[in-house]
Amino acid sequence: MGVINIVRKQFDVNSMLKGLHGKLGDEDYIEPLEILINSLNKHNKFNRFGKIAFNHQLKNRLKMRKMLNELHLNNNFDEPADPIFVIGLPRSGTSLLFNLLSLDIAHRSPMYWEIMHLMPLTKTKAARQRREFKTNTELKLAKTIIPKLRAIHTIRATTPEECQQIATMNIRSFVYMCMADVPEYIEYLKNTSFDSVFKWHKKFYQALELNGKPSRWLLKDPSHIGHMPQILKEYPNAKFIHIHRDPIESVGSFCSLTKNVRLAFSKKISTHGIGETVIDFWNHNLEKGMSDRKSLSNNQIVDIQYSEFIKNPLDHIKNTYMQLNFDMTIATENKIQNYLIKDKQISKPSHNYSLDEYGLNEKIIKSEFRDYMLNYDF
């Protein structure tokens, strides 16, 4: 009973929804919000920054949803441009592939400031710059609180960014499992429908297109690997690029990311608990994705092996373009070559971690990801 009393003082559903009832469209957010809040309260003891961060994050996303809902109630929208999704386990080379593909002017990806502070839509350069400044200020604070974030994942307000934060408007996102221990919420994510997530996902990109429609949307989120059928309901012409990396190399890296984020918010964390969560959640998503992709045609999905990709990224991207019937321009080719040259010259902070810290080893990972590893010769 004592724990419950403490928890109720941390987060409360009604306070999160204060002033927002009836303004958020379909009530698909209520169930996941209640489960998330209960799980946060039951299993975590947050520090002061953690309480502020969670309150800000949840309220920000709900307010964003409110404004996006109002926009759609008052406007008619065309179907958005067809998207291409970069998918794969977290820390499997998706970011490098995504960054290189984003150099093609035919591709448009959301910038981080747009993901976090798109609404209300900006109409002037000055207004956009204020949003960018606000986002960079928030990122500077995050990097101060989570020093190792610089070595794990580079984020800037005005660079293309993956779209997992868009799913937080629907309160269905793995973002929250990175921030806290939420086992009931994770089980909910594994079993709930994501249909509504991609309805709001589509609404977001339709809103962005009020400032211009791209040739293609280039999007990335590791969890998309488990939701391809739901994506295709909203984007029937979507295409996927699946990059594969040995889970022995990627799992430990994501455990480290999760640990460093949780340490910023909580007074106490369990690294072994993180290991169990990461293995369970991502193996579930991967198995679902491997089953779902069997229904896709060869011109809908392309596979890339990370170990081969990093030897010659440009050749692999050219081959991918051929398989997807995309045109590779000389300008894009030159941009990719220049990016790779500059990237080699940049001194990057080291990201060190060990599987043992998370109660894991190669034998456990091989056992959990056995079918996937056999299928892709790891």
pLDDT value, residue 151: 67
The stretch 165-172 carries a mean pLDDT of: 95
Per-residue pLDDT, 349: 67
Q: Taking the CA of residue 103 as centre, how many other CA atoms within 13 Å lie in the half-sphere pointing to its CB? A: 20
The mean pLDDT of 74-82, rounded to a whole number, is 96
Task: Sort strands 83-87 and 239-244 into parallel, antiparallel or unpaired.
Answer: parallel
C-alpha angle 143-355-180 in degrees, rounded to nearest 5: 45
Quick one: pLDDT at residue 9? 61
Residue range 334-353, pLDDT digits in tens:
999 999 999 888 766 667 88
Reference 281, options 190, 170, 172, 358; nearest CA is 190
Model confidence at 1: pLDDT above 80: no
Decide if pLDDT at 3 tops 50.
no
The domain tally of the chain equals 1
Q: Report the mean per-residue pLDDT for the chain.
A: 92
Q: Where are the beta strands (DSSP E) in 19-102?
A: 83-87
d(CA 255, CA 74): 43
The pLDDT of residue 366 = 96
Q: What pLDDT is attached to residue 5?
A: 42
Q: Taking the CA atoms of 224, 158, 113 and 108 in sequence, report the sign of the dihedral they define.
A: negative
pTM of the model: 0.93
**What residue ranges in the chain does DSSP mark as E strands?**
83-87, 107-108, 216-220, 239-244, 301-305
Residue 266: domain span: 2-375
Residue 6 pLDDT > 60, yes or no? no
Residue range 251-297, pLDDT digits in tens: 999 999 999 999 999 999 999 999 999 999 999 999 999 999 999 98
The pLDDT of residue 29 is 96
Segment 195-208 mean pLDDT: 97
**Which residue shows structure tokens 């947050």?**
46
142 near 251, Cβ under 8 Å?
no
For residue 43, what pLDDT band results from cuts at 50, 70 and 90?
very high
Mean per-residue pLDDT, 216-237? 96
Does 2 have pLDDT greater than 60? no
Range of lowest pLDDT (21-25, 134-138, 141-145, 147-151): 147-151
For residue 287, the domain's CATH number is 3.40.50.300
Distances 227 to 192, 196, 254, 359 between C-alpha atoms, Å: 11, 12, 20, 29
Q: Which residues are paired to 220 by β-bridges?
A: 86
CA dihedral sign of residues 307, 308, 309, 313: positive
